[in-house]
Amino acid sequence: MLAPNQTPYRDQIFIERILGIGQKDGYVVDPVFVGLFNIMGIYPAIYASLMIPAGRSENKVPAWPFVTLSFAFGAFALLPYMALWRPYSDPAANPLPPPSSELTGWNRLFLRGAETPIMPALLLAGGAYYIGMALTAGGDAWAEYFKLFDESRLVHVTTVDFATLTALAPFWMENDAAGRKWEQRGTLLPVLSFLPVVGPAIYLLLRPKAEAPK
């Protein structure tokens, strides 16, 4: 309700052009927003890797429905779970890295991928590419982005979503690192926490991994 909505038709055009659908009329979406929009497809995968299983709640509220919805609704889907979440009073009840028995079955495919270097490396590559796209877009592109932030509901909400996920990531990185007893938790983790998208992805790449199921 508080977000601007001066460009509803243009917001639709933004989505169509970024997704490669609709008419080919030569219109080019601001590259800063293109980078930001694509990053919002990477952040949910990062949060899924951090919150399942490290973010399990002692009150048995499941994380996966909220994480799944975050691929469509971003932080707005995760915030209710974060409000309900309670850490385990006994860390042994939620061992990390997860035992190999928890990685078996087709429904654990994502979790298995998160416990290998491959998926974190892909998330890091994608995050670095789109961050680089935004940072090298030039002054005119950034001026256009700030103008759109004041006019476009899509750009405004996406930016707030990005800022929220970036601000909350250090907590879930610390929670996961503590459970895994990561040796560089006190040195490297604070540095990674200051890097949007790529910091959490680097952490996922470096953190202790589960043994592959036999």
Sorted by where each begins, the domain ranges of the chain are 39-206
Q: For 65-102, how does the pLDDT look when each residue is reduced to its tens digit (9 = 90+)?
A: 999 999 999 999 999 999 999 999 998 889 999 998 88
Q: What mean pLDDT, rounded, does the chain reach?
A: 92
Q: For 152-162, how does the pLDDT look when each residue is reduced to its tens digit (9 = 90+)?
A: 999 999 999 99
Q: What is the C-alpha to C-alpha distance for residues 72 and 69, in angstroms, rounded to an integer?
A: 6
Q: For 131-147, how does the pLDDT look when each residue is reduced to its tens digit (9 = 90+)?
A: 999 999 999 999 999 99
Q: For 36-50, how does the pLDDT look when each residue is reduced to its tens digit (9 = 90+)?
A: 999 999 999 999 999
For residue 3, pLDDT over 80 is answered with: no
Residue 53: is the preceding peptide bond cis (ω within 30°)? yes
Secondary element (H or E) of residue 88: none
Output the pLDDT for position 214.
Answer: 62
Output the pLDDT for position 5.
Answer: 66
Q: What is the C-alpha to C-alpha distance for residues 140 and 143, in angstroms, rounded to an integer?
A: 5
Q: What is the C-alpha to C-alpha distance for residues 199 and 173, in angstroms, rounded to an integer?
A: 10
Per DSSP, helices labelled H in 54-117 are 64-73, 75-84, 109-114
Q: Which residue in 70, 37, 45 sits closest to 123, CA to CA?
A: 45
Output the pLDDT for position 1.
Answer: 45
For residue 24, pLDDT over 80 is answered with: no
Q: What is the C-alpha to C-alpha distance for residues 84 and 58, in angstroms, rounded to an integer?
A: 10
Residue 4 sits at φ, ψ, to 5 deg, of -65, 155
Q: Which residue in 205, 211, 202, 207 sits closest to 175, CA to CA?
A: 207
Q: Is 80 left (phi over 0), alpha (psi -120 to 50) or beta?
A: alpha
Q: For 164-183, how does the pLDDT look when each residue is reduced to its tens digit (9 = 90+)?
A: 999 999 999 999 999 999 99
Percent of the chain predicted with pLDDT > 70: 94
Q: What is the C-alpha to C-alpha distance for residues 152 and 147, in angstroms, rounded to an integer?
A: 8
Please report which confidence band the pLDDT of residue 26 belongs to, taking 50, 70 and 90 as the band edges.
confident
The number of helix segments (H) and strand segments (E) in the chain equals 10, 0
Q: For 102-123, how does the pLDDT look when each residue is reduced to its tens digit (9 = 90+)?
A: 888 888 899 999 999 999 999 9
Output the pLDDT for position 6.
Answer: 65
